Amino acid sequence: MKRVVIIGNGIAGVTAARYVRKYSDYDIQIISAESDHFYSRPALMYIYMGHMKYENTKPYEDFFWEKNRIELVRDTVTEIDTDKRRLTLLSGRHVLYDVLIIASGSRPNKFGWPGQDLEGVQGLYSLQDLELMEHNTRDIKRGVIVGGGLIGIEVAEMLLSRDLPVTFLVREEKYWNRVLPDEESNMVTRHIFKHHVDLRLGVELQEILADDRGRVRAVKTSSGDEVECEFVALTAGVHPNIDFVKSSNIKCGRGVLVNDFFETNIPNVYSIGDCAEIVVENPDERNRLEQLWYTGRMHGEVVAKTIAGTRTEYDRGILFNSAKFFDIEYHTYGLVNFDTPGEKSLYWEHPDGARAIRIVYNDECVIGFNLMGIRYRHGICEDWIRRKLTIEQVLKQLHKANFDPEFYEQCEDAIINLYLRSHPGSSLRPRRKSGLKAMLFG
């Protein structure tokens, strides 16, 4: 019987295990260091905020694994010997495999800042980090967050849920502007200020200063300020967690190098999820790291098919993602802010400044949606993008995508009116009159 061993019980590894079980009768073992059972990493913040208990973040009952003949081992893999098809574990045990899947996830970035290893300074990735954060934020007067991405804003929300003042250092001039277009970025920036976060844009961490017990007492910033604090969260992105792979003959770059089938350079060794670096043939493009929950799940499903005998190429399909900036939900489908040729964008913002819709299109078809504070049905937007509907075809039936019937009566007409302002010859008509303020960006 073939023996499939998976390193990592995150969404990628666990999905692979579930689908290998579905498609085959192979022996399956998952070795993971962090937790006995799979849990939802994006829910970490809710445990800290008291909205959920750890038990509630586990998508499967504990009996699920035995019932599905998936053996779970709590240990750390320290070495991979691909000639002997053998893993060495921290406990000293050895494990043999026929097929190996490396799904070891990410680790928070540290950029060599002076003081980055002081007591009270940490990243947020694992359950152990969460526990440390519980400890590190007890009785503090201020927390400083370094790095303006999605985890940074989550940590801000976590601290504020305990009424702890927050200073948020963001290197960019606008919040998450690498991903969000200017208007959405401005909206989130206003929202962060509204929550009384001391947000400092265009400011970098210079140094973390210690007190006489070796604990953080302040940070120095690139603008010359010193901010007193007892806790520093380093949230400047993550990188693949692959140190233990590097001593093997499995090729690595930023992550474990794989092709579109998640195959490494070694037969029967695969890598998926955050730790995999998908090699792109086009020399003008950078290899892809896909560090998202839903892509990890897709990787797991695809690699399982290959392992079970149907070699299957990965097709990420139409991009999507979602997140939350305090109270503002964000959903994105397709290509937004990718600067594609001939790209135009219809941007409508609600007068409350906390809701917006952006439709990105070109002369032929609609290519992307950004929704802020409004939910649009994923399946419908994806279908429109896939079928290459024109902007007018989409506007005509935009109400079909809206999740919120109380709201759609107003905003779809506002968007159509906005479009008509720059396309007066169009035969498109609003469903009913709307006097909402709107903006157009071409």
Ligand X SMILES: Cc1cc2nc3c(=O)[nH]c(=O)nc-3n(C[C@H](O)[C@H](O)[C@H](O)COP(=O)(O)OP(=O)(O)OC[C@H]3O[C@@H](n4cnc5c(N)ncnc54)[C@H](O)[C@@H]3O)c2cc1C
Considering the complex, what minimum distance in angstroms separates the CB of residue 307 from ligand X?
16
Report, in Å, the least distance between residue 389 CB and ligand X: 27
User: 9 vs 306, which CB is nearer to ligand X?
Assistant: 9
- Where b means 16+ CB within 10 Å and e means fewer, 160-175 reads beeebebbbbbebebb
52 sits near ligand X (criterion: CB under 6 A):
no
Residues of span 245-274 touching ligand X by CB under 6 A? 273-274
**Which is it for strands 269-271 and 143-146: parallel, antiparallel or unpaired?**
unpaired
Q: Decide: is 389 part of the binding site for ligand X (CB under 6 A).
A: no
The candidate with the shortest Cα–Cα distance to 100, out of 87, 91, 118, is: 87
Provide the greatest CA pair distance for the chain. 75
Name which position in 5, 17, 31, 336 contacts ligand X (CB under 6 A). Answer: 31
Rule CB under 6 A: say whether 41 interacts with ligand X.
yes
For residue 346, the surrounding DSSP H or E stretch is strand 344-349
Stretch touching ligand X by CB under 6 A, among 41-49, 308-316, 360-368, 373-381: 41-49
Closest CB to ligand X among residues 50, 224: 50
If the CB atoms of residues 62 and 364 are measured against ligand X, the closer one turns out to be 62
Smallest distance from ligand X to CB 12, Å: 3
Q: How many residues does the chain have?
A: 442
Tokens of 329: 């939900």
Interface with ligand X, residue 105, by CB under 6 A: yes
Selected binder of ligand X within 6, 16, 103, 256 (CB under 6 A): 103
Residue 77 interacting with ligand X (CB under 6 A):
yes
Task: Sheet with 121-122: list strands edge to edge.
Answer: 121-122, 231-234, 143-146, 166-170, 198-201
Q: Is residue 296 within the footprint of ligand X (CB under 6 A)?
A: yes
Q: Are 239 and 233 in contact (CB under 8 A)?
A: no
The residue assigned the tokens 């959903």 is 331
Question: What sign does the dihedral 286-288-292-294 (CA atoms) show?
Answer: positive
**Beta carbon nearer to ligand X, 44 or 438:** 44
User: Is 76 a binder of ligand X (CB under 6 A)?
Assistant: yes
Task: Give the helix/strand (H/E) hosting 61.
Answer: none
Determine if 42 is a binding residue for ligand X (CB under 6 A). Answer: yes
**Interface with ligand X, residue 8, by CB under 6 A:** yes
Rule CB under 6 A: is residue 241 a binding residue for ligand X? Answer: yes
Other CB atoms within a 10 A radius of the CB of residue 116 amount to 18
Q: How many CB atoms lie within 10 A of CB 340?
A: 12
Per-residue x/- marks for ligand X, 112-141, CB under 6 A? ------------xx----------------
Instruction: Give SS3 for 98.
Output: coil
Q: Under the criterion CB under 6 A, does residue 412 sit at the interface with ligand X?
A: no
Query: Which residue is closest to ligand X by CB?
Result: 105
Q: How many binding residues for ligand X (CB under 6 A)?
A: 34
Residue 214 is given by DSSP the state S
HSE-up of residue 136 (Cα within 13 Å, Cβ side): 27
Residues that bind ligand X (CB under 6 A): 7-13, 31-34, 41-42, 44, 76-77, 103-106, 124-125, 151, 154, 241, 244, 273-274, 291-294, 296, 323
